[in-house]
Amino acid sequence: MKKQAISITYDKLWRDRPLSFVSIRTAAGDPRRGWLTGGGLTIPVALGRGGIVANKREGDGGTPKGTFRPRRVWWRADRSPRPRSFLPVRPIRGDDAWCEDPTDRHYNRPLRLAPGHDGDRLTREDHLYDFIVEIDHNTRPRIAGRGSAVFLHLARDNFGPTAGCISMTRAAMLQLLRRLSPRTKIIIG
């Protein structure tokens, strides 16, 4: 009986520890689908319509190849309780958006939009952005045109490709969020 209790305790501790890395690879036969693995997790994901690309460009639909780190979690507090994570967590407000214009000085940064202004608003009618993991793709240095708003977010119902992000089911996202920390490496490719 003691051996089983020790095993259960060890398993719980292992599941509650932050991940040192996760790896994202394409699935055999479909470059727009893939697998996120690490720390005992295996999660099916949807990738960009252009698959994983080494030379990411704005609007190419590719998911950037490389090693990145998660920066923070954004979540729709009006739709879900605050998720558990080792990452900083921030609620999404109605005026939150992301700058995708390479000519703008705020390119690939969050910003606040006044009503009636265009931009990639983080509040959406669908549920894709109910949880967003912001990663440090194209942040240091930020290079105009090298891609913006590359997130981990929720998948479409049909698990269709993204515009360059990595998407997954809500259950998988919540499981992953509990294990991500600012030190976790996200290895794509």
DSSP secondary structure string for all residues of 98-146: E---TTSTTTTSEEE--TT--SEES--SSSTTSEEEEE-TT-TT--TTS
For residue 74, the one-letter residue type is W
Can you tell me the mean pLDDT for 80-109? 96
- Domain residue ranges in the chain: 2-188
- Integer Cα distance of 165 and 148 in angstroms: 10
Q: Give the pLDDT confidence of 1-58 residue by residue, as tens digits.
A: 455 554 444 455 556 799 999 999 999 999 999 999 999 999 999 999 999 999 999 9
> What's the whole-model pTM score?
0.90
Mean pLDDT of all residues in 138-149: 96
Contact (Cβ atoms closer than 8 angstroms) between residue 82 and residue 89: yes
Report percent pLDDT > 90 for the chain: 86
> To the nearest whole number, what is the mean pLDDT of the chain?
92
Q: Report the pLDDT value the prediction gives residue 130, as an integer from 0 to 100.
A: 98
Please state, in angstroms and as integers, the Cα–Cα distance from residue 131 to each residue in 123, 150, 184, following that order. Answer: 11, 13, 18
Task: Specify the CATH number of the domain 2-188.
Answer: 2.40.440.10
